[in-house]
Structure 1
Amino acid sequence: MTFSIVAVDVKSKEIGFAIASCTWDAGMVGTAKAERGALCSQAQGYFPFHSVLYEKLEEGLNLEQIFEEFKKIDEDIENRQVGMVSFSGEVFAFTGSRNDDYAGHIIGDSYACQGNILTGPEVLEHMSKAFESTNGMLAERLYAALQAGDDVGGDIRGKMSARVLVKKKKGSDLEDTFIDLRVEDHKEPVKEIGRLLEVRRKILKAYLSMQKVIESEGEDKIDALKEMEKFLSDKVDRTVIDYHSFLADTFLKLGMEEKAIKAYQNVLTIGPKMIRVIRKQTSSGEIPNSVFERIVD
């Protein structure tokens, strides 16, 4: 019913999975924990496997031994399909004998692809090749694999949902989530994941550009600000409106009024109602009246 990939990048310390299916919330059958492991349990996914994986990893069992523990708690193991990786790079996959054709798995260096009710073995073969030949963050490599499988047929029943989850210590929240993208009830869920990754990439670049400005001083600060301005010049859209605001405020504080005015105008192009915020900044004296008049001219 599903095709997925679990993987770890030991060098970047990222671990996670990508999955797509014709069912709602396909991603719920996957799990990952930073510096621990990742698992996809599909074809009638069995959720108790999730907690057992982490408990047994903590006890020092390897993945093959952990699968033996799965068999002890699941009398329907031959209905299941499992792909697992540990943070050390160990990989394990299993396709039960009662899975519907085409079903199978491929194990590679620090990853495993698995799927059932697929158009054929080419789905997994293309996933494997795409993962191995793609550079970049783990999320981008997972997505490339998922898209490659989707492009050659994927799930024979159609498309509905997809998810990419990557965990990394100090990722972005208390659960070490680095990236978690989900798409539900979409005609092209995998392609939509790709679009969201592009948006995230743009926002991340804007954020890193802003941090460089904040951390720089003197001429280096001005150079970083101009670099950020160049990056944002063709990105006047809602995803980066806060970064245009930061650009405007910083230019103004540095006495670069012309550039500040242009940046404030970009903010208003994206969100006309931001005039309220700019008026407030003017009332408080943060923006001179003469500059405000030129912004709205």
Structure 2
Amino acid sequence: MTFSIVARCAGTGMFGVAVSSSSPAVAARCAYARAGVGAVASQNVTDPSLGTRALDLMALGAGAAQAIEVLRGSTPHMEFRQVLAVDAHGASAIHSGPRALGTWAEAKGQDVACGGNLLANPDVPQRMVEAFHASSGHLGDRLVEVMRAALEAGGEAGPVHSAGMKLVDKVSWPVADLRVDWTDDCPIEALARLWGIYKPQLADYVTRALDPSAAPSYGVPGDE
């Protein structure tokens, strides 16, 4: 019911996750990232605890592959799960249990891991990895490009209805956490529009948190 990407920007160290599904509010359950540590997607009969556990392991020094191996060896029902991880060095790892739903597949490379289940075809994750490596610019822009490439490659077997993107960079909270929890239109294009609105304001929201006296105008009625 899901296809996703976890990725690291080699130039800035920013991490991101993007995900889409036929299920509602997919990003609320599947997307995890921590600045300076890594990014994780936990999906397919989802156990959200796997996302935070993988990040905790990587924060303690485990690489992506080590974190995935620990989860495999210490967690029940892993045969149902898909977990994608990328670490602070750009190494990536994936677990896909044999009881993942429908047509499932995975692909990874430096700074990126992609995977999905109930896919239209098994080529989708590899096309996503290729799109990521061919892209440039802000990580948020690159993730949107990858999700569009996933749809062009076939995406999920049925129509998707939700999508989301999470970005982390230097501060302890996500610098972007954007979600389209349900739409009968294309959630990835809705996410792209939302990102287009948010991207020019991203740095200002960080400034407002760190030093409100240096913040630019809020641009709302009553603000001078």
Q: TM-score with structure 2 length normalisation?
A: 0.85
- Indicate if the aligned counterparts of 2:6 and 2:17 stay in contact, CA closer than 8 A: yes
Shift of 1:91: 0.6
- Indicate if the aligned counterparts of 2:50 and 2:83 stay in contact, CA closer than 8 A: no
Matching residue of 1:11:
11
More helix by share: 1
Count of equivalent residues? 212
196, 201, 205: which one aligns with 1:198: 196
Distance 1:66 1:122 in 2: 26
Q: Is 1:176 the equivalent of 2:173?
A: yes
Q: Which has the higher contact order (CA 8 A, sep 6+)?
A: 2
Give the root-mean-square deviation of aligned CA atoms.
2.5
Shift of 1:133: 1.5
Distance 1:162 1:206, change over 3 A: same
Matching residue of 1:87:
88
Percentage of pairs with the same residue:
27
Give, as a single letter, the amino acid of the residue that structure 1 aligns with 2:181: E
Gaps of 5+ in 1: 208-214, 216-239, 246-273, 282-297
Divergent runs of 4+, >4 A: 202-207
Partner secondary structure for residue 179 of structure 2: strand
Shift of 1:41: 1.0
Partner secondary structure for residue 163 of structure 2: strand
Partner secondary structure for residue 3 of structure 2: strand
Give, as a single letter, the amino acid of the residue that structure 2 aligns with 1:58: A
Equivalent residues in 2 for 1:5-44, closer than 5 Å: 5-27=5-27, 28-44=29-45
Gaps of 5+ in 2: 206-213
Shift of 1:78: 1.4
Shift of 1:180: 1.4
Matching residue of 1:60:
61
Shift of 1:206: 9.8
Higher Rg of the two aligned structures: 1
Shift of 1:125: 2.9
- Indicate if the aligned counterparts of 1:10 and 1:87 stay in contact, CA closer than 8 A: no
Give, as a single letter, the amino acid of the residue that structure 2 aligns with 1:104: A
Equivalent residues in 2 for 1:212-227, closer than 5 Å: none
Equivalent residues in 2 for 1:82-121, closer than 5 Å: 82-121=83-122
Matching residue of 2:209:
none
Distance 1:58 1:241 in 2: 35
Distance 1:203 1:100 in 2: 38
Distance 1:152 1:205, change over 3 A: same
Give, as a single letter, the amino acid of the residue that structure 2 aligns with 1:34: A
More strand by share: 2
Distance 1:203 1:66, change over 3 A: closer
Shift of 1:71: 2.1
Deviations 1:154-196, CA, capped at 9 Å, x for gaps: 11132111001010013xxxx3322211001112100011111
Q: TM-score with structure 1 length normalisation?
A: 0.65
Matching residue of 1:128:
129
Distance 1:128 1:67 in 2: 19
Shift of 1:128: 1.8
Distance 1:14 1:4 in 2: 17
Shift of 1:61: 2.3
